[in-house]
């Protein structure tokens, strides 16, 4: 394998405890690929990884032109690199400025506006309707008045989501399950953007986290799926609504076929992270969210030969053969501190027993933070939680 081409991890949203960036550094770094990070934050545990070759910060108020110039200068110092956005804002930024960035970086070239369309919950919903992909029924109120009208004729619980996460207030939840009219109005006011309507109401599909299925894959320049994995959540954070804290690889042909069909129809290229929920009421897998980028859970999905979506894209974009692989059925991956906190919530609500929790940790093949060959980020994580996260959490509750 030729590992001469470096990787630049690019983010425009703050992610001090972003385990996805650490996963990229380890997956590529263990092969000998130089990995660099461009981020908003000055410090993060991932910065201490033995596989991190460089860390540079973009100022919070940098303009578009300044950000492009920053990336150009960075490329001049490290060479033409593979550019990997790790949040929605960065993904949309790369797509919007693909022509300017192309001489300096390697990345999949997608149809104009596709990343924005898939990142937007509203446009994603419309794509599902157009291509006959099952998805929860949704409404898009333009004002509080329309929201309250929907509350009068709607059913509870309901789910509120930010249509464009990057436009929401920094402290607002991205997803909220509401039980009545008052909770709906309070959540709407917290999530609404000053730029315009940014909250959708989505049908609530009952079920535990195990009903949520994921697909991780890489699509080449012809929108052909070169590698694809499926699995499901066991626990998540925040509990019942958030990102995976414990997941397992399992085959699901229905989820895989629906995803491959939709991505071929829209001409998608690059790494994809997508989620579905199985609706026991009608037996359908309904699409919930699309991340047109690498997801924080990507290291759950590792084939029997060690291939993941990052390595697959690296090989393809550097002109090397992408080998076939098979799903490592039963493989589990965990985000240690967040899973512990979520487990306590599930236990208090009677959704898990101590014995079930112990059994759920069997077959965990990889931790998001701990690694014997790279221990410093794990130690820095717990230090950061004690000095940074916990005091702020206690202060916000007070």
What pLDDT does residue 153 have?
Answer: 84
Q: β-strand 284-291 against 270-279: which pairing, if any? A: antiparallel
How far is residue 192 CA from its own chain's centroid? 22
What pLDDT does residue 397 have?
Answer: 62
Which residue bears the tokens 């985000």? 335
CATH architecture of 209-379: 2-Layer Sandwich (3.30)
Mean pLDDT within 328-337: 96
Mean pLDDT within 265-272: 96
What pLDDT does residue 165 have?
Answer: 78
Mean pLDDT within 32-37: 97
User: How many angstroms separate the CA atoms of 183 and 125, rounded?
Assistant: 24
Same fold yes or no, 7-117 and 209-379: no
Q: Is 280 helix (H, G, I), strand (E, B) or coil?
A: coil
Respond yes or no on whether the N-terminal peptide bond of residue 52 is cis (omega within 30° of 0).
no
Mean pLDDT within 47-64: 93
What pLDDT does residue 396 have?
Answer: 63
Report pLDDT digits (tens) over 183-222: 999 999 999 888 788 999 999 998 888 899 999 999 999 9
What pLDDT does residue 173 have?
Answer: 85
Q: What are the domain boundaries of the chain?
A: 7-117, 137-203, 209-379
| pLDDT surpassing 90 at residue 370 | yes
pTM: 0.91
| Average per-residue pLDDT for the chain | 92
Buried b (16+ CB within 10 A) or exposed e, 336-367: bbbbeebbeebeeeeebeeeebeebeeebeeb
User: How many angstroms separate the CA atoms of 300 and 249, rounded?
Assistant: 7
Q: Are 275 and 136 in contact (CB under 8 A)?
A: no
For residue 351, how many C-alpha atoms fall within 13 Å in the half-sphere facing its CB? 15
Q: Which residues contact 212 (CB under 8 A, 6 or more apart)?
A: 232, 233, 236, 275, 276, 277, 278, 288
What pLDDT does residue 20 have?
Answer: 94
Report pLDDT digits (tens) over 135-173: 999 999 999 999 999 888 878 999 999 998 778 787 788
Q: Domain 137-203: which topology?
A: Dna Ligase; domain 1 (3.30.1490)
Domain 7-117 - what CATH class?
A: alpha beta
Q: What are phi and psi of 245, to 5 degrees?
A: -110, -25
What pLDDT does residue 116 have?
Answer: 86
Report pLDDT digits (tens) over 228-241: 999 999 999 988 88
| pLDDT surpassing 90 at residue 251 | yes
Q: Which of 130-134, 239-243, 351-355, 361-365 has the lowest mean pLDDT?
A: 239-243
| pLDDT surpassing 90 at residue 104 | yes
What pLDDT does residue 186 have?
Answer: 93
């Amino acid at each position: 394998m030729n590992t001469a081409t470096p990787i630049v991890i690019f983010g425009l949203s703050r992610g001090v405890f972003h385990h996805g960036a650490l996963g990229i550094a380890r997956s590529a770094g263990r092969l000998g690929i130089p990995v660099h990070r461009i981020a908003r934050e000055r410090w993060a545990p991932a910065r201490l990884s033995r596989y991190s070759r460089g860390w540079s910060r973009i100022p919070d108020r940098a303009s578009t032109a300044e950000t492009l110039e920053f990336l150009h200068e960075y490329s001049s110092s490290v060479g033409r690199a593979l550019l990997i956005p790790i949040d929605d804002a960065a993904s949309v930024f790369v797509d919007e400025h693909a022509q300017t960035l192309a001489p300096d970086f390697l990345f999949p070239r997608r149809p104009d506006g596709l990343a924005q369309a898939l990142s937007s919950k509203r446009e994603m919903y419309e794509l599902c309707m157009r291509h006959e992909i099952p998805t929860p029924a949704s409404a898009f109120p333009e004002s509080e008045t329309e929201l309250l009208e929907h509350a009068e004729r709607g059913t509870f619980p309901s789910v509120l989501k930010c249509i464009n996460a990057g436009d929401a207030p920094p402290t607002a939840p991205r997803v909220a399950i509401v039980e009545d009219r008052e909770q709906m109005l309070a959540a709407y006011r917290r999530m609404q953007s000053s730029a315009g309507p940014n909250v959708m109401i989505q049908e609530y599909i009952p079920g535990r986290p195990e009903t949520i299925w994921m697909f991780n894959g890489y699509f080449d320049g012809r929108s052909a799926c070169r590698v694809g994995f499926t699995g499901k959540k066991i626990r998540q954070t925040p509990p019942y609504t958030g990102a995976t804290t414990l997941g397992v690889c399992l085959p699901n042909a229905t989820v895989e076929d629906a995803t491959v069909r939709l991505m071929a129809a829209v001409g998608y290229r690059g790494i994809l992270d997508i989620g579905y929920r199985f609706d026991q009421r009608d037996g359908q897998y309904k699409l919930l969210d699309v991340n047109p980028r690498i997801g924080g859970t990507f290291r759950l999905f590792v084939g029997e030969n060690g291939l993941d979506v990052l390595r697959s894209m690296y090989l393809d974009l550097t002109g090397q053969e992408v080998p076939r692989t098979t799903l490592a059925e039963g493989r589990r991956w965990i985000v240690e501190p967040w899973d512990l906190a979520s487990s306590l919530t599930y236990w208090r609500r009677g959704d898990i027993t101590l014995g079930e929790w112990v059994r759920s940790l069997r077959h965990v093949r990889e931790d998001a933070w701990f690694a014997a060959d790279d221990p410093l980020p794990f130690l820095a994580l717990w230090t950061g939680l004690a000095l940074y996260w916990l005091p702020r959490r206690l202060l916000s509750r007070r």
